[in-house]
Amino acid sequence: MENFFPEELINEVKDSNEIIDVISQYIQVKSVGSSYKALCPFHSENTPSFIINREKQIYKCFGCGEGGDVVRFIMKIENLDFIESVRLLAKRANIEIKSTESSEEVKRQIKEKNLCYEINRKVGLYFYRNLTKKPNPALEYLVNRGLNPKTLASFGLGYAINSWDNLILYLQREGYQLSDIQKCGLIRPNKQNGYYDYFRNRIMFPIFNIRGDVVGFGGRVMDNSLPKYLNSPETKIFNKSNILYGLNFARKNINNRQMILVEGYMDVIALHQAGFKNVVASLGTSLTKYHGQLLKKYCDEVIICFDGDTAGIKATMRSVDILNEVECQFRIMTLPEGKDPDDFIKFYGYEAFKEQINNAISLIDYKILLAKNKYSSNTIEDKVKLAKRIAVIIRDIKSPIEKEAYIEKAANETSISKEAIKLEVLGKSKNISMNRNNVKYSSNYKRDNKYIEIIPLVEQKGHIIAEKQLIKFMLTDNKLIQHILNSISVEDFSVWSHQEIVAYLADNVESIDEKQIEETLPHLKEDIKQILSTDIKYIELNNTLAKYVINLKKYKLLYDIKRLEEEQNSIMKDSNLTKEEVESKLLNIGMEIVRKNVQIQKLKA
């Protein structure tokens, strides 16, 4: 029996496996302009001649001549046939392939899908003719929104007239069966054993897949009736969680390896008409992991441009989580209050929108902006709340230098001292000494069935001394820097100033100079002086390093747990979150606390 896959499935597998990501699992690739280079895995060479084109999703070796798409690469590198290569890539992308030996069954499925493509194409033309052949409310609405004839044609916009069976009668005249029309999601059965048109009295937006086939439709009302937008139901060729509206245009018009992500059809179309053709939107749903993978496949950076209202802010934060999960770079664009991208481009024009893209901000800056908007009064109470909220945001930053920069920014914007904000960032309780030069931490903790509680005691300075001793070893002998950092990371140091000093040493292994360090980090001059006065005369580093590392890692994990518990309390008090969002965030944080507790147990073992 013949065993093969339908073309649609093969295309889905290819679309779901970004060629750079796949090839990077086998060989080391390096970005060179818009392409990527590597040493060819299929023949010996010293100079890279293996080129990967992310936009076209192909590779070519100019040394041995080998080339092709992602499936061809897997066939060659894994020594598999075509079918097994497709199966391997499908598994990698979590695409289920049901084994079948019936070529007739596969042919039937392909025929059914092709019929659906054919019907959707005809329906798209039908809606377009309804819109353009004579004056109607939909055309008037779109003209008033500033769209020109070329844009209407490019996106195939249309009009579903206010009738219960106009589309049914048209498709029947074209020779299509009701059962096939229903499978395309275009009609619904009624109580009298008949059917009615699914879309009525709506502006119609054909939804295209990546290859430009019409796979479904979105319909928008022209008044205040609900639902405002109505999408085709899921069919054999349409799944709204796997499609980005406008991607068929955007993938051919990637500027600066950027993609602009907006919320709706009209935002995509208005920006496209204005000259920004690298714009996409999800279809009325939250961004999915598949969406994130698609974006990463076609660009290096996503500019998130959602509305500034509460719903837009929530959508932005959900999208950020997805893009972080798939490790896709992003920035966030903030528009004036009450303006969506469509409004903004009409009021301010191309250059102003381009400037907004250039000024798009990081996630940290976005969170701080939201905090400033929430605590916007000039009262002491709001300034304190703002500083505390910013401190919580800064705690998540990994880089000590970046942390320091944001602490400086928070101090400037709240008129609260840097030292107070720094202590808040470190998460100290009121029982811990607030003397910057004598910061004390607990070296004890008591166990409970559910959690580990940090106990601030007077005796809690042992590991602070250990940190100072390790840093002094590094300051006085540059050969020890890498030796110590092979066992412990910058983030494992619990004192903020210690992290910053160690980060500097890590970047300047070959050129330690006390005077230069003090000039580079003048705000830490006293800390450095204290460290250099720490006694290490009777310490044999090699015998004590392992013990120091375990203690420092343990205390850092305890502080992380306390911070996460504070974050849980903050989430439970956040009235802007839904019950589902609260539960999801609490679960994620709870799992992180468990992981850190397990790490502590491993350190003790």
Query: 3-state SS string over 492-543?
Result: HCCCHHHHHHHHHHHHCCCCCCHHHHHHHCHHHHHHHHHHHCCCCCCCCHHH
Are 470 and 598 within one domain? yes
Task: Work out the average pLDDT over 479-507.
Answer: 83
Peptide bond just before 341 cis, omega within 30 deg: no
Model confidence pLDDT, tens digit, residues 298-340: 888 999 999 888 888 888 999 998 998 888 999 999 988 778 8
Evaluate whether 577 touches 585 at the Cβ level (below 8 Å).
yes
Residue 443, token pair as written in the block: 């070296």
Higher pLDDT, 600 or 453: 600
Helices (H), 326-461: 341-358, 363-374, 380-395, 400-414, 418-426
- The whole-number pLDDT of residue 309 equals 82
- Check whether 572 has a pLDDT greater than 90: no
Q: What total of structural domains would you count in the chain? A: 5
Residue 97 in any domain: the answer is no
The CATH number given to whatever domain includes residue 33 is 3.90.580.10
The CATH number given to whatever domain includes residue 260 is 3.40.1360.10
Residue 414 in any domain: the answer is yes
pLDDT band of 446, cuts 50, 70, 90: very low
- The whole-number pLDDT of residue 510 equals 67
- Check whether 441 has a pLDDT greater than 50: no
Domain that holds residue 26: 7-92
Orientation of helix 380-395 relative to helix 400-414, angle to 10°: 170
Are 394 and 354 within one domain? no
Residue 565, token pair as written in the block: 């518990």
Residue 600 in any domain: the answer is yes
Residue 598, token pair as written in the block: 């397990």
Evaluate whether 335 touches 308 at the Cβ level (below 8 Å).
yes
Q: What percent of the chain has pLDDT over 70?
A: 91
Residue 442 in any domain: the answer is no
Residue 423, token pair as written in the block: 């202590």
- The whole-number pLDDT of residue 365 equals 92
Higher pLDDT, 471 or 155: 155
Interior angle at CA 220, CA 215 and CA 224, nearest 5: 160
Long-range contacts made by residues 166-175, C-beta under 8 angstroms, separation at least 24?
166/197, 167/123, 167/126, 167/197, 167/199, 168/195, 168/196, 168/197, 170/126, 171/119, 171/122, 171/123, 174/122
Signed CA dihedral, 447, 436, 499, 392: sign only: positive
Count other C-beta atoms under 10 Å from residue 3's C-beta: 11
Residue 212 in any domain: the answer is yes
Q: Which of 46, 53, 47, 15 is nearest to 31 (CA)?
A: 53
Alpha-carbon distance 492 to 420, whole Å?
22
Alpha-carbon distance 20 to 24, whole Å?
6
Alpha-carbon distance 93 to 184, whole Å?
26
> Looking at 334, 359, 384, which one is the last position of a domain?
359
Model confidence pLDDT, tens digit, residues 71-117: 999 999 988 888 888 989 988 888 877 655 456 776 787 788 889 99
The CATH number given to whatever domain includes residue 557 is 1.10.860.10
Report the range of poorest mean pLDDT among 363-367, 426-430, 444-448: 444-448
Are 322 and 247 within one domain? yes
Residue 386 in any domain: the answer is yes
Beta strands 329-332; 279-282: pairing state: unpaired
Are 383 and 510 within one domain? no
Are 109 and 168 within one domain? yes
Burial class (CB in 10 A: 0-12, 13-18, 19+), 18: buried
The number of angstroms, rounded, from the C-alpha of 87 to the middle of its chain's C-alpha atoms is 27
Are 467 and 593 within one domain? yes
> Looking at 214, 238, 262, which one is the last position of a domain?
238
Are 412 and 537 within one domain? no
Q: Which of 244, 298, 252, 302 is nearest to 277 (CA)?
A: 252
Q: What percent of the chain has pLDDT over 90?
A: 37
Model confidence pLDDT, tens digit, residues 190-237: 988 899 999 999 999 999 998 889 999 999 999 888 889 999 999 989
Half-sphere exposure of 573 (CA within 13 A, CB side): 7
Are 253 and 323 within one domain? yes
Amino acid present at 455: I
Residue 2 in any domain: the answer is no
Classified as helix, coil or strand, 443 is coil
Evaluate whether 454 touches 445 at the Cβ level (below 8 Å).
yes
Model confidence pLDDT, tens digit, residues 59-70: 999 999 999 999
Q: Which of 394, 453, 456 is nearest to 420 (CA)?
A: 394
- The whole-number pLDDT of residue 437 equals 37
Classified as helix, coil or strand, 3 is coil
Residue 452 in any domain: the answer is no
Are 477 and 598 within one domain? yes
Q: Which strands sit side by side in the sheet containing 202-208, from one edge to the other?
A: 158-160, 202-208, 214-220, 229-231
Are 248 and 318 within one domain? yes
Are 131 and 112 within one domain? yes
Higher pLDDT, 281 or 521: 281
Orientation of helix 7-15 relative to helix 82-92, angle to 10°: 50
Are 154 and 74 within one domain? no
Residue 269, token pair as written in the block: 């179309």
> Looking at 210, 238, 266, which one is the last position of a domain?
238
